[in-house]
Amino acid sequence: MGEVGAIVPLPSTFIGNKVAAFGPVAGQAPLARVLRTMISGLSGPGDAVVAAARALIDDVRECLGAHDLSTVGLVVSGDHADRAGCVTSALEFLAGENVSARWVLLHDLRRPLASPDLSRRVTAALRAGSDVVMPALPVTDSVKAVDARGSVTGTVDRSALRSVQYPRGFTVDQLTALLAARAGGSFDEFDEAVRAGVPITLVDGDPSAIFAELPRDTAFLEAIIACGLVDRHRR
């Protein structure tokens, strides 16, 4: 096994919208796209794990088989597993499988067009010594400040603003510590790292790694793929 593992959490929130994980987008399920993206930067598919709520396990297994990804690890995270529970289960699975991972990539299915090069940039920064790595793009939209009534009070200087993407990279020890120290409620690894004062290394993001709500945005993503914009951004 390699030094870098990959985790895709599938919490119970996907139970009511399975299309977001398993519905086809230009012939591939988002889960399969995300796994292939991360695996390309690893030593092999055995270093990747999907941690899913119990009610999603059969769907995950079917999806992995249909996309020739059956060697990807699969772990049950409980009946009502949230994101934190899934990530914790995945880390325990990797440790139990004796995977010698020092670092892990953590993805989000809502960004299914993230490029393999993005995973490689994150991995390279981890290998260079960073404990937390996140891809980011400069904010290009005009950002306005408003008052309590919703009236515009000015334009925010966007030169210091960034939009953070996925996959995100961590040392195993740092991600484990962030999970243990979380404030409760929903878990966001970026917020936890900021709260803990952990230095975050930013690497160049990917214009294709947009946030998508599926099935609503399926046609939009397929149009991006059909126009070749994904490949163009990855060069």
Read off the amino acid at residue 199: P
Q: What is the pLDDT of residue 94?
A: 87
Give the tens place of pLDDT for each residue, 107-133: 999 999 999 999 999 999 999 999 999
Residue with the two structure tokens 């046609």: 219
Q: Which residues make beta-bridge pairs with 155?
A: 144
36 has pLDDT over 70: yes
Q: What average pLDDT does the segment 67-95 reach? A: 92
CATH of the domain at 184: 3.90.550.10
Q: Cα(118)–Cα(173) distance, rounded to whole angstroms?
A: 22
Which percentage of the chain shows pLDDT scores above 70? 93
Per the CB < 8 A criterion, the answer to whether 166 and 111 are in contact is yes
48, pLDDT greater than 60: yes
- Residue 91 sits at φ, ψ, to 5 deg, of -65, -40
Full-model pTM:
0.90
- Output the six-digit token pair for 64: 């992995």
Q: How far is CA 120 from CA 48, 111, 229, in A?
A: 15, 16, 20
Any residues with CB less than 8 A from the CB of 16 and at least 6 apart, and which? Answer: none
Burial of residue 13 (CB within 10 Å: 0-12, 13-18, 19+) is middle
Distances from the Cα of 51 to the Cαs of 14, 56, 221, in angstroms? 12, 10, 25
- Report whether 158 contacts 143 (CB < 8 A): yes
Whole-number pLDDT of residue 68: 95
Domain span holding position 202: 4-234
Q: Which band of pLDDT confidence, cut at 50, 70 and 90, is reported for residue 235?
A: very low
pLDDT in tens, 186-223: 889 999 999 999 999 999 999 999 999 999 999 999 99
Instruction: Count up the domains in the chain and report the number.
Output: 1
